[in-house]
Each structure stands twice: as structure tokens, then as C-alpha cells.
Structure 1
Amino acid sequence: MRDAVERFLEHLRDERRLSPHTLRAYRGDLLDFIDRFEARRGRSPELADLAVREVRADLAERFGEQAASTSARKLSTLRSFGEFLRRRGELPDNEAALVRRPKLPQRLPVALPVEDLTDIIDGPGHADGALGLRDRAILEVLYGAGLRVGECVALDLDHLRWDGDALTLRVVGGKGNKDREVPLGAPGAAAVRAWLGVRAQLLPPAQRMSESTGTKRAAAKGERALFLGRRGQRIGDRSVRALVYRRCEATGARARVGPHGLRHSFATHLLEGGCDLRSIQAMLGHASLSTTQRYTHLDLGRIVDVYERAHPRARATAPAPAEARPRRRA
């Protein structure tokens, strides 16, 4: 089965062009299934072992250990793997597709109020010097453009498109390996420009010298990255998550959210400001509008307000009933 897993991952990488992060998730889920099977049965699994009985046994072992969302994701991976094998003629049926998906609770990420986000980005407590300017720029990009944390750390210098003081971010190889462009507001553009002015301070001396003299040389790892870590390499998503958590705690935000919470706040505040769902969908990079709707939960009061403003008969005065006419006597 391990050889089949490698063929499946090659298919996902070369034909479906999935991101490295997604490929790692698929690999981890499939190898975890294999390891659990070997521990349970005392032998290596064959392709025929991707059956209803074994998939259910795998899910049963996870019950109580993992969240329902994690089990659902792992089942989805097994279904995709089984469908790949069925289409290649290596399995007669995709039995994993017959296993019922765990029921997931309807939970939505928390959207912070605007005043909390203002404190997180502009409030006191940032590091001094270049690191503080970098942190402000990262927070502006996460909230001001709604980028995923992986998309934020993957930004390169040539992904910035300036038009005077206006800045547009080019997201390359986002989720689903799709590119898009997202505008960044004036405060965010100013924060990025301020960070670029001191970015060289985090580069190693050799790279710093080559940039200042204009010497052409092979690009070192992370040299073209927009956001750098302390050692001059591309900053990692763990560092960005730690930054957001730290700022939430330092400013007393109403909830301790991660980078995805800033993305959700971005979408929610756009919707509350009157932006349409299609535009939000494009900026978030969602393939389906239904995915965007999960980010933009609406309360009943707002739905009523929108209905009253938009529907032509929402405020129309109902016509008075016609007076009954007297019947003619026969």
C-alpha cells in the first residue's frame, strides 16, 4: 500500500497541482492509517484492506482521541485515495466512500471587533526596531488583505505591485494552487513600506552587502522573501501564529485568535461595511461561494435590515381592502 500512496501523492502533485502543505496533510493521514492497521493486524496492509471494515475500525480507534473534524478529514483522504485506486483499476470499488462521515458541530471562528484589531496592530508592546516594524506589517497583511498564514509567509518582494502609494499583493499558488491579487489599504501599504526600509537589517552581512552594492549573485534561501525571521530567512507560519497570539494577550482582546481569526474578521467587517459576497469570495480566494458564507455569518437583525433596504415591497403600504359592495336583491 505504501507504493500506492506514493503514486497517489505524485498524482496530486503533478496533475492536481496541490500545495506542499496539502500534500503533507494527505501523506500524514495515509501513513497514519497504515501504521494503525499494522499495529492492529500485525501485518502490512494490502490495497484490498482499504475496505469498510478497516476504515470503520480506524475511525473507532480515533473516537475520543481526536476532534470530529480531524476524523472527517482523514476519512476524506481515504475516500480520495480509494477513488484514485478505483479509477486506475487497482480496486474494484471505493469502499471508503461507503463509510458515513462523522457529524461535525456547527462552529464558526470568532471575529474580533474593529477596536480590538486596532489595538493588536497599532497598540503598544511591539518589539523595538526592525522586528516591530515587521510585526506591524505582517498583522496589516493578515487583517488588511485577509491572507492565509501560509500565503502571508510565502510572499516575495516581487509579489508587491505598487501604484504610487497604493499596494496590491499578488498571492501566488494559494489554496488549490490558484493565484489572485488582493488590495491592501493605505495603513497596510504604509506599514509594508516602513518594513521594507529596515528589512535589510535582518539579512546576513553577505546578503546585505550584495543588495547595497547591487552585486548579482545566486538568491539565497529566503533572500527574496518579503518577511524575514531573526536569522534572515523566510519567516515561518509558527512564528506568525505566535505573534498573533502574543498580541491578543498583550492587548486584552476579547478572544485569543490566530491568523485565521484575522482573516475571518477581514471578511466579516467587509460584509458589515456593505461589500458583496462575490467580491469577498474573490479576495479570500474561495472556489465556492458556500465557503465564503461560512466566514460571513449574519445575525437575524442584519438580515432584516438588508431585506428592508433591498426588497421593493418590504416597506410598501399594504393596499386597503376594497369595500364590500351591496348584493343585488333578486
Structure 2
Amino acid sequence: MLKTSYPEQFFLYLRSQPNASASTIRAYRRDLRYLTEFLQKEYPRIDWPEVNHLMLRQFLAAETERHLNSNTLTRRLAAIRSFWRYLHRQGLVKANPTKFIRVPRRQKSTPHFFVYPQVQKFLEIARAIGRNDFLSRRNAAIFELIYSAGLRIEEAVRLNVGDVDLLGEFVRVLGKGNKIRTVPIGRIASQAIAEYQKFRRQLLASRQQPETAALFLNKNGTRISQRGVRKIFHQIVQRMGVKEKISPHSLRHSFATHLLERGCDLRSVQEMLGHKSLVTTQVYTHLLPEKLKKIYEKAHPRA
């Protein structure tokens, strides 16, 4: 029978690593839960040292039959490989069966983004959706900032008051791998944050709570959660009448796409997004064939 202590030891180890993000750990926990459930069903008497590469291939095949895309399967395998490397280093297993499994080729998906009129409508609804002045100003400030600086949801909710320089119009962001980057923010986002901070102070005073470092608060005066922001995002999208399934990451995609549309160079967009590799940022160039064609015709001597 599978020892539940092995995965828990692995997650304790991950949390101790300086470059392990909370979102990656959550995803890996989910991936290993699926593997555990599969092995307990198919091989109820087996323990982790007895798992071989054929069993892992069988699991990945079962996941493929669930019509998961190759990107999800790639992450599943990354989690499993990381888990077995840990077990092997700790001497808990004699062999690493993941060495014999090939990584599926990742699909190149085109990120969804809003055209600018949609962004305007989104931000108008964000301001109107709150039940009181505090919530409406907070919603406007969060999403204005996410779009203005291209932030991930987890980066936005992690912000402290001291991370935002409204005078200089910059925000200090703690990104993936605990890497810090400084991103400019626009005038409208700065104004939205300044307006929100007045109501933020009023909320804390009315609840007789001391000042807190967290920039974005919930109605109880504590740091808003990622789940809370995602819930608001989907409420706004629903009011917009958008039918397709859209992630909050769409605002970040929109940030990058709109900058490139207006002539910003790819390297600068890479730095602002906090991408480690330029290849990751290049996905946005596939969204702009007409823009690239105009640049080509203007720049190439024989166009």
C-alpha cells in the first residue's frame, strides 16, 4: 500500500526551496493526487519503491484518454519526475522509473486576449460591480493595475502598500521563483490605486484594525485571496456577455499584445512580464501578423 508520508515529505522539501512558487506546489500536489488515486485503484498492494515505468506509462495513457492536452500531461510528468528524483536522492527508492518516459510535445496554444474596447468595458464593470464604495474602488484598482503592469493574479494579491510608488509610477513585483522586477504603471492605474487607498484606510479605521502591509484587502480587512480575485473576474466576464471560457490571465495577455501592437520591442515586454526566456514572450508575435507585416514593409529595403 502506498505510503502517504512520501508525498508529504516531498511537499515539505519543495516548500523549503527558495525558488518554488506556491502555484507550482499546488499543481504538483494535484498531479500526484491523480497518480496516487490511479495506483491505489489499479495496484492496491503496491508501494512507491515497486512502481515501475510501465505503470507510469499506463497512468499517462489513462490521462490522455481523459482528453487532457499535452501541456497538462507535460506538467503531470514534471511533477512525477521531480517526486522520484527526490525519493531517489533520499534513498527511499532504488531506481528512478521516470528516466524511461518521454515527455509529450507541448502544444503551442495562442493566448486569449481582449481587444482594447473590451478592456475598457471590463474595467468599467469592475468599478460598478462592488456592493459599496470600498469594494468598487478596490476592484477597479486591482484590475487597472493587473492590466497596466501585466501582473499575474498571485503577484497582484501578494503586493504590499510599500511595493507601489505612485509618485514615480512604478510597482515592485515578486514574481515566479521569488524574482523581483520593477514595472512601470500608467497614470489611470495610479489614480485608481490612490483613490482606493482612501477607502482602504477608512475600512481599517471603521473596523478598528491596525494598519496592515497588504495592499489589496477583502471586506474583513485582511489580504484578498487569489480565489477572491478570480471570482470577481468571472463575474465581470459574465456581465460582459462573453461565452467562451476565459482565464484572468487574459488581462496579462492583453497587456503584452497591446504593447506589441503599439510598437513596444519584444525584449522590453519580456522584462515587464518577468519571462525567463524570450521564447515564452514570442508567442504574442503570432497574434500580430498584420502589425508585423507593416513593420516589415516599412523596414525591409526590398519589401
TM superposition score normalised by structure 1: 0.81
User: Deviation per CA, 1:214-251, whole angstroms, max 9, x where unpaired?
Assistant: xxxxxxxxx32111112222111122112222222323
State which of 25, 28, 39 in structure 2 corresponds to 1:26. 28
Give the corresponding residue for 2:84: 82
Structure 1 distance, partners of 2:302, 2:290, is 14
For structure 2, which runs of at least 5 residues remain unmatched after alignment? none
Larger Rg: 1
**What is the root-mean-square deviation in Å for CA atoms of aligned residues?**
2.5
For 1:142, the aligned partner's letter is I
Identity %: 36
Give the corresponding residue for 1:142: 146
Q: State the shift of 1:46 in Å.
A: 2.4
Is the Cα contact below 8 Å between 1:111 and 1:265 reproduced in 2?
Answer: yes
Q: State the shift of 1:168 in Å.
A: 1.2
Is the Cα contact below 8 Å between 2:166 and 2:194 reproduced in 1?
Answer: no
Q: Does 1:59 align with 2:71?
A: no
Q: State the shift of 1:74 in Å.
A: 0.9
Is the Cα contact below 8 Å between 2:155 and 2:173 reproduced in 1?
Answer: yes
* SS of residue matched to 2:166: strand
Give the corresponding residue for 1:277: 266
State which of 114, 118, 121 in structure 1 corresponds to 2:120. 118
Q: State the shift of 1:258 in Å.
A: 2.9
Give the corresponding residue for 1:314: 302
Q: How does 1:158-237 map to 2 (within 5 A)?
A: 158-163=162-167, 166-172=168-174, 174-203=175-204, 205=206, 207-208=208-209, 210-211=210-211, 223-237=212-226
Structure number having the greater helix percentage:
2
Structure 2 distance, partners of 1:7, 1:185, is 44
Structure 2 distance, partners of 1:290, 1:103, is 16
Structure 2 distance, partners of 1:55, 1:204, is 56
Structure 2 distance, partners of 1:283, 1:259, is 18
For structure 1, which runs of at least 5 residues remain unmatched after alignment? 212-222, 316-330
Structure 1 distance, partners of 2:243, 2:269, is 25
Structure 2 distance, partners of 1:224, 1:16, is 22
Structure 1 distance, partners of 2:222, 2:291, is 45
Q: State the shift of 1:171 in Å.
A: 1.1
Is the Cα contact below 8 Å between 1:34 and 1:45 reproduced in 2?
Answer: no
Q: Does 1:304 align with 2:290?
A: no
User: Deviation per CA, 1:168-225, whole angstroms, max 9, x where unpaired?
Assistant: 11112x21221111111000000000000101343374544x45xxxxxxxxxxx321
